[in-house]
Amino acid sequence: NTFISYLVMSAFANVLQGIYFKSLGLDEGFIGNVIAIRTLLTGLSAIPIGIISDKIGRKYAVMLGIIVSFIGYIGQSIFISPSLIYFFACLSGIGMAVIYVNEAPFLVENCEEEKRINLFSINFIIMQLAFIIGSYGGGKVPELIGGQSVVILRKTQIIFSILALTALIPLTKIKDNRNVKTQREVGSLFSLLKRKRIIMIIIYYMLIGFGAGLVVPFFNLFLHHKLNVGTGIVGAIMSYSQVATILGVFLVPYVSKKLGKVYTVQLCQILSIPFLIIISIAGSVWLTTLVFFMRSALMNMAQPALQNLTIEMVGDEERSAMSSLISLSNHITRGISASVAGYIMANISYELPYYITAALYVIAILLFAWIFKSEKHNNKFQYKVKMPS
C-alpha cells in the first residue's frame, strides 16, 4: 500500500503535473497555488483524519483515503477548468493526509521499541523505491506513448491515477488490530500544545516545511525549463536523487548507534545545505544531477531517525495526535510557501527560493539542537512525559 501510494504521488508531484500544467499554458503562479491548496488541505485535514482513524481503524481509513486520492488525481487529469483543478487538488491532498497521519503510529503500534529504528528505516527505503520508480516512470511513460504533448501527458496521468486504486489490494490482507489503549480524544491535542518542547518541535517542522515548499515541488519545473530538458531526463534525475537517499538510509542505524539520533539528524541536514545552494547556480545537467544526488541523500537519509525521535516524545495514546500535529504544521507551511515560490519564480527568479530555503534550514537545525540539547550524547532517548489524566 505504501509503495503504490508513494509511487503514484511521485509520478504526479515530482514529474508530470507541473509540466502538464505548463503545457496547458498555465504559469508558475497557478502551479504554486495548486500545490499550495493540495498541501494545505493535507495539513488541515490531518487532525480530523487522526480522530476518524482512531474511531474506524487505520485499515479502513487508509482504504477510504486511497479512493479519495484516486478521485483527486483523475479529476486533475481530466478537467482543465482552474476551479475544478483546485477542487480535485483538495481531494488528492486529503487522500494523502490519511497515509501520512496513519503511517508512523501504525509502525510504532506493531513493533517492539528496540526494533523501531530498523522498521522506520525499512519503511523509508520502500517509500524511496516507490519515489524512484514513480519519478522514472512518470518521465519515461510519456516518451514511450509518443511524446510530450498535452494529450500524452494527460493519458499518462490517467494511467497513474488508475494505478493508485491497486493500493487497495494489499490492505485487504491486513488485520486491523486496534488497541483501545491507543485511542485518543481531541483533548490530547490540547495537552500536547501545552508542552514547550512539543511547541518547539512543531516550529522546527514548520521551518523545514516552509523551506521545502519553496523548492521541492518545483524541482521538475526547474529542471524542465531552467535546464531545458525533457520529461525523461527530469524523471531520471529525480529517480537518481532517491537512489542516493536509499543508500544513505542504510547507514542511518549504524550512524545513529555511533553518534546518537540527534547528532545524526543535525549532521545530515546541515551538510545538505551547500548542495541546495549549488543546485540554484549549476548550469550543467550532469552537475545538477550530482548535486541533486548529494542533497537528497543528506537531507532525507536521517528521516527515519527524526520520525522515530519525534513520535517517541509522547505516550502511546498520544501518538496519533502527535503525528497529526506534525503533518498539520509541516503541510500548512509547505502549502503557503509553495504559493509564495510560484509567485517568486513567475515574477522574480527561479534561484531566490533556494537561498531563502537554505536560511530557513539553518534556523531549523539550530532550533533542533536546542530542543534535544540534553539528549545529544544518548543513543536511546527517554522522555519524561506527563500523561493526561
pLDDT one-digit tens code per residue, 5-45: 888 887 877 778 888 888 888 887 888 888 888 888 887 88
Mean pLDDT of the chain: 80
- Judging by beta carbons within 10 Å of its beta carbon (0-12, 13-18, 19+), is residue 129 exposed, middle or buried? middle
Q: For 74-83, 116-125, 199-208, 329-338, which range has the lowest pLDDT when averaged over its residues?
A: 116-125
The answer as to whether 380 is a domain residue is: no
C-alpha cell of 82?
A: 482552474
Between residues 270 and 223, the one the model is more confident about: 270
Residue 261, all three cell numbers: 539520533
In a domain, 84, yes or no: yes
For residue 353, the model assigns a pLDDT of 92
CA neighbor of 157 nearest in space, from 110, 89, 213, 100: 89
20 domain residue, yes or no: yes
In a domain? residue 381? no
pTM equals: 0.73
Contact 121, 251 (CB under 8 A): no
**Could you tell me the residue range of the domain that residue 247 belongs to?**
2-175+183-375
Q: Quick: pLDDT tens for 104-155.
A: 777 777 666 667 667 777 887 788 788 888 888 888 888 888 777 888 888 8
Q: Could you tell me which residue, 347 or 308, shows the higher pLDDT?
A: 347
Closest to 62 in 3D by CA, of 38, 91, 87, 97: 97
Domain count, the chain: 1
Contact 138, 16 (CB under 8 A): yes
State the Cα–Cα distance between residues 157 and 161, nearest whole angstrom. 6
Nearest-angstrom CA–CA distance, 63 and 188: 25
What mean pLDDT is predicted for residues 257-277? Answer: 87
Which of 347, 268, 275, 319 lies closest to 54, judged by CA? 319
What CATH number does the domain containing 358 carry?
1.20.1250.20
Whether residue 32 lies inside any domain: the answer is yes
What is the spatial distance between Cα 32 and Cα 29, in angstroms, rounded to a whole number? 5
270: confidence class by pLDDT, cuts 50, 70, 90: very high
User: How far does the chain reach from its first CA to its final CA, in angstroms?
Assistant: 36
